[in-house]
Chains A and B, each alone.
Chain A
Amino acid sequence: DQQVKQNSPSLSVQEGRISILNCDYTNSMFDYFLWYKKYPAEGPTFLISISSIKDKNEDGRFTVFLNKSAKHLSLHIVPSQPGDSAVYFCAASYSGNTPLVFGKGTRLSVIA
């Protein structure tokens, strides 16, 4: 049973436009959420995170939004660049530094 779901396996966006990647979770105990980025033949790398006490966290071109009532989070990339093309994983954990639970990933293609 998937506790973290990324329902879009892939997404294509034009360079300069906004990319929006979505993630849903089922476990209400989760209170810390992360996005990882993965290039081919490399390990996932941490991108941005958000605690459940916030509803938004911004870092440069990347913003994560959290809607706790809907158990939904999203990653916005503005403006999208070709180098952003990668697989993006949503992950969640709960207090006590428990292991991260990952979604299956969304492959983002940014077209020049």
Chain B
Amino acid sequence: SAVISQKPSRDICQRGTSLTIQCQVDSQVTMMFWYRQQPGQSLTLIATANQGSEATYESGFVIDKFPISRPNLTFSTLTVSNMSPEDSSIYLCSVGVPGGRGQYFGPGTRLTVT
């Protein structure tokens, strides 16, 4: 299985600031995804990070708030912009398992906005 790392693992940020989360995979993968998990909730897909083109966002998520980069097949970043306390969540990146056998998840970034 792919080894996925995320940085930072956690952060406490002030309202109105932005945070960029990095996701690194130890092998080239076609599909990378970003999820949000609010306290006590299940995972919600934010967007699919496309290599070399703009990310594909799910309903309710916009590029201005969650800009995503995918410069190559092993790396992606998610920025949470102009943060408010409602953005306090765990943010997870995931990669598609070859053969369409689901996804593997990174360890997550725990974000608290004060």
User: Do A and B originate from a single complex?
Assistant: no
State the A residues within 8 Å of B (CB). none
State the B residues within 8 Å of A (CB). none
